[in-house]
Amino acid sequence: MLTAATLGNWFWNSSEQFWRSRVFVGKTKSYGPHLVELVRRGLEELGVSHNTIRGKSVLLKPNLVEPNVTKPHINTHPAFVRAVVEVFRRWDASEVIVAEGQGHCRDSSFVLEQSGLEKVLDDDRISFVDLNYDDVFTADNRTRFTKLSKLYLPQALRRADFIVSLPKMKTHHWAGVTLSMKNLFGVMPGVCYGWPKNVLHHAGIGQSILDITATVRPHLAIVDGIVGMEGDGPIMGTPKPAHLVVMGTNLPAVDATCARLMGFRPEQLDFLRNASGILGPIQERHIEQRGEPIAGNALHFAIPDKPHFRQFRDA
């Protein structure tokens, strides 16, 4: 008998037939100078090289959700940001800037200091743009999963030739996981969307993730999973050493791979299931795996014991 569930599974299985993407998984136990070589090797496996970057303006968007110097598992690690900057500089980018519009604390200087990123920016002379207060432009909402017809975006995105999402590998108490797509909430200016981006929460977190990703169209994602977060993320969880770096040029494919490495099935995450076939592939057979295999590296990220959260693993 053809049921709604059967029809839905058929659509999901057939919707990606023209989508293919490549994702690289690297392994390392610590943060340090060796990350430069790991990132460079991963990018070249993806077809991103000196010729891709030379002469381009690169914008890196880390995750600085909450300033807390004693809990480095909350934010993208400063050494991780430093390594990615170094790769693009060696590849003769015209400029590499770090940009963020953190969702909770409005004082960017305090956030940078407490996250440890301020010292890296100062020592390496890396420019920072506060996306919460940057001048804005309006862009048509390309997918309209929310009812928002247009999105207000910071001018820094328009000035950049190459946009990179640099998230932390974490669980999330509403979205299930927060990875390269959810990280893009931080490009939305607080002066337009509030703190912590309340307009987007009311419009729907999963729907907003899709609309922002489709409209911003980042070129690359590099996920800091060396020490991630499990439990009540994205702030209240506990450290989860995963020793992984995951990268790719298609964000749904990257996030689907990360979900598998975290012990989740991507199709059980609403925003990934809805991205399937529209923004990219999430099925394993449509993602060309480079670097380390998923098998043997997959972990089990703990989730809060709450009824609405169990759906992210249960069939």
Q: Which domains does the chain have, with CATH numbers?
A: 19-310 (3.40.50.11440)
Average pLDDT for residues 36-48, to the nearest whole number?
A: 98
CA angle 78, 80, 83 (to 5 degrees): 110
**pLDDT the model gives residue 266:** 96
Q: Out of 82-96, 130-144, 294-308, pick the least confident.
A: 294-308
**pLDDT the model gives residue 46:** 98
Average pLDDT for residues 195-222, to the nearest whole number?
A: 97
Do 242 and 228 touch, CB atoms closer than 8 A? yes
Residue 51 in this model has a pLDDT that exceeds 90: yes
pLDDT band at residue 291 using 50, 70 and 90 as cut-offs: very high
Average pLDDT for residues 84-90, to the nearest whole number?
A: 98
pLDDT band at residue 10 using 50, 70 and 90 as cut-offs: very low
Residue 2 in this model has a pLDDT that exceeds 60: no
Q: Which residues contact 147 (CB under 8 A, 6 or more apart)?
A: 203
**pLDDT the model gives residue 1:** 37
Do 167 and 224 touch, CB atoms closer than 8 A? yes
**pLDDT the model gives residue 314:** 61
**pLDDT the model gives residue 13:** 53
Do 186 and 131 touch, CB atoms closer than 8 A? yes
Computed over every residue of the chain, the mean pLDDT equals 92
**pLDDT the model gives residue 157:** 98
Phi-psi region of 277 (alpha: psi -120 to 50; beta: other; left: phi over 0): left
